[in-house]
Amino acid sequence: MVTYDFKEKTPMPIRTNLRGSALLNTPSLNKGAGFTREERSIFGLEGFLPYDVHTLEKQCDRAYNQLKRQPTPLLQHVFLASLRDQNTVLFYRLLQDHLKELLGIIYTPTAGEAVAQYSNLFRRPVGCYLSFPNRDGMRAQLEAHLQNINIVADVARHDETTAESIDLIVVTDGEAILGIGDYGVGGITISTSKSALYTLGAGINPNRILPVVLDVGTNNPILFASDLYMGWKRTRMRGKNYDDFVETFINHARDLFPNAVIHFEDFGLNNAYRLLEKYRNKFAMFNDDIQGTGAVTLAAIIAALKVSGGGALQDQRIVIYGAGSAGMGVADAIREGMEVQDKLGTADASQRFWAVDRNGLLLESMAPALRGNQVRYARPDDEIKTWALENPELPSMAQLLDVVRNVKPTILIGTSTATGAFTEEVVREMAKHVERPIIMPLSNPTSLCEVDPQDAITWTNGKALVATGSPFSPVKLPDGHEYHVAQTNNAIVYPSLAAGAILARANTISPRMLMAGVDGLSELSPALDDPSQALLPSLDNIRAVSVHVTAAVIRAAVKEENAKNELVIKIAEDKGEMSLEDYIKARMWDPVYRPLELVD
């Protein structure tokens, strides 16, 4: 695997005309105590700072100590947000140095609490707030953010993309925040947190990412009851008004930022699928809840099949417990994998899945009540007529144990947030019929996990291959050795998918590009060298992982003639002066202080 060390790169200087307090109050340029003696003299900073010059490393130590003194995860999140608003480089360097430890603070689960408390904790606006009552001024509002891009603070772009622009837009409407529900305008916290992970994971320049919240109201009575709620107090817009508002945003964003990837985050299930199907073939867009969760899960499955010798993807029988956006997104990703890898048709591939929710197995007779993509995975009612059910008095309500007993799945995936749903009876029943059961309790946080990995290992006599949505410590195998549990964290894959599309200037993020990213990630599985190791690489090495995965995504885009960046096309076809991997590394934004040059 290609290595990545930002300390080996020589940072290019930044040219700016800002001086004194204006410079100190610009987060993308501020170095705090890190300004050199020469910079302090040239930029009029003497008297604004204490005398001693501190390295970035020393500043990180101080910030980390301050962070650890915060008594709760929520206050640690608030501290990090404040640091981001003061010093961009220090914020990212601190997170980069402690990524595994702080990921749960900057994003899930703590970000969910921060969203719920957004209006109570508000200090400074970050990102773009587009409210339905102000819809007629939307273009001007987006243009104002374009004008705020400080191009003199971003001259490190070494090719034709040096013009003022946005590379990435992360947008939410706040309806389905991290599975905790509708939090309206507070959803901007998720957009900003997700944006930070793009920078940490794939080096996308934070100054060229625009977090957006579409404030279309809220159905949360708690927000209506709060005098401090800062969003539009009206029940959530639906129907044509909602669709027109989203369409207006898309049109203005594409006109003003024509090369930007648009990431949809935490939309409600129905809207998430509708918008994905409506726009995915029109421009480079991505829904992380559907496609990101699916991609990282599929990568773990492909690695598990290689480890176990479990056959092709098309040979699997897959039970998904939890038929929300995450579960159906996982099903879609695996199905599209079968279509790309095994050349199956959509209908044929869909027959490899059994989706179960709190009401039991999804059946065709439930169609009027099914949402989003659930209809595709509903089974014929006749299928269960011959099953021996736990509760024969309810023949249309086949529960998880019934499904596992009759389907004999090779893969069991949980996206239900139902703690302990994979009971000992369910797991042992699965293990009766498959040599190496693949068990993936993906629900977050740990308290909502469908099964403890240690139990899954114990109940299968050490044969299960396990990946989880939450981080778990290594568990004991029956022979006393340790088994390392992979965490299917979207952050290890979705930044690379966007980075590949951005660098290639892809027209769309196609199924083949997604599959290339999945394959690239699965190739880095530590379990391929040692079956006791995790099915996915660690976040500790995320930049190196991203170089490999981004390159795979770019090559797929070029191969299917889905790329517009002529320079990248040339490099991807091995006709350039550097390798594609070296080009990607050179283009990554790094959390380092760059020299400043004063200009008029």
Buried b (16+ CB within 10 A) or exposed e, 86-121: ebbbbbbbbbbeebeebbbbbbbbbbbbbbbbbbeb
Q: For residue 566, say whether it is annotated as part of any ligand binding site.
A: no
Torsion sign over Cα 173, 218, 111, 95: positive
CA dihedral 27, 29, 30, 35 (to 10 degrees): 170
- What does the radius of gyration of the chain's CA atoms come to, in whole angstroms? 24
Structure tokens at 107: 């994003």
User: In angstroms, what CA-CA distances link 254 with 238, 257, 507?
Assistant: 23, 5, 12
Distance of CA 49 to the CA centre of its chain: 38
107 annotated active-site? yes
Structure tokens at 364: 């065709």
194 annotated active-site? yes
Q: For residue 450, say whether it is annotated as part of any ligand binding site.
A: no
Distance of CA 141 to the CA centre of its chain: 26
**Which strands sit side by side in the sheet containing 318-321, from one edge to the other?**
360-361, 353-357, 318-321, 411-414, 438-441, 465-468, 486-487
Rounded to the nearest 5 percent, the helix, strand and coil shares of the chain are 50, 10, 40
User: In angstroms, what CA-CA distances link 395 with 356, 392, 401, 497?
Assistant: 15, 5, 14, 43
Q: Which of 92, 107, 229, 583 is catalytic?
A: 107
Q: Which of 183, 194, 229, 273 is catalytic?
A: 194
Instruction: Report how far residue 453's alpha carbon sits from residue 476's, in angstroms, rounded to the nearest whole number.
Output: 10
Which residues on neighbouring strands pair with residue 261, listed in sequence order? 168
Q: For residue 289, say whether it is annotated as part of any ligand binding site.
A: yes
Say if CB 29 and CB 14 are below 8 A apart: yes
Q: For residue 150, say whether it is annotated as part of any ligand binding site.
A: no
Torsion sign over Cα 424, 356, 341, 560: negative
Q: Could you tell me which of 191, 165, 196, 193 has the C-alpha nearest to residue 260?
A: 165
Structure tokens at 27: 């987060």
Q: For residue 243, say whether it is annotated as part of any ligand binding site.
A: no
| E strand residue ranges, 5-46 | 14-16
Residue ranges of the binding site: 265-266, 289, 444, 489
Catalytic residues: 107, 194
Residue ranges of the binding site for a divalent metal cation: 265-266, 289
